[in-house]
Amino acid sequence: MALSLARVASNLSRAVASRTWTASAVVGARGKHTLPDLPYDYNALEPVVSAEIMEIHHAKHHQTYVNNLNALEEQHAEAVGTGDIAKVISLQGGLKFNGGGHINHTIFWTNLAPSSQGGGDEPTGDLLSAINKDFGSLDKFRDDFSAKTVAVQGSGWGWLGFNKAAGRLEIATCANQDPLQPTTGLIPLLGIDVWEHAYYLQYKNVRPDYVKAVWEVVNWNNVAERYSEAQQ
CA distances from 79 to 10, 71, 87 (A): 19, 12, 6
Contact 72, 94 (CB under 8 A): yes
What pTM did the predictor assign? 0.87
pLDDT for res 12: 52
Among candidates 231, 9, 218, which has minimal Cα distance to 114? 218
Give the CA count within 13 Å in the CB-facing half-sphere of 185.
Answer: 6
At position 174, the amino acid (one-letter code) is C
Closest CA to 92 of 33, 15, 10, 6: 6
- What crossing angle do the helices spanning 92-111 and 63-82 adopt, rounded to 10°? 150
Alpha-carbon distance of 214 to 16, in angstroms, equals 25
Single out the residue of 2, 183, 13, 29 nearest to residue 91, CA to CA.
Answer: 2
Closest CA to 143 of 190, 212, 196, 214: 212
Mean pLDDT, the chain, as a whole number?
90
Distances (CA, A) of 67 to 1, 86, 100, 182: 24, 23, 13, 21
Q: What is the largest CA-CA distance in the chain?
A: 55
> pLDDT tens digits, residue range 70-85?
999 999 999 999 999 9
Backbone angles phi, psi at 37, to 5 degrees: -70, 145
The count of other CB atoms within 10 Å of the CB of residue 101 is 23
Q: What number is the average pLDDT over the span 8-31?
A: 40
**What's the pLDDT tens digit per position in 29-74?**
448 999 999 999 999 999 999 999 999 999 999 999 999 999 999 9
Positive or negative CA dihedral for 112, 113, 115, 117?
negative
Over residues 140-192, the pLDDT tens digits come to 999 999 999 999 999 999 999 999 999 999 999 999 999 999 999 999 999 99
- C-alpha distance from residue 143 to each of 90, 192, 195 (Å): 40, 14, 20
**DSSP H or E segment with residue 211:** helix 207-214
3-state secondary structure of 40: coil
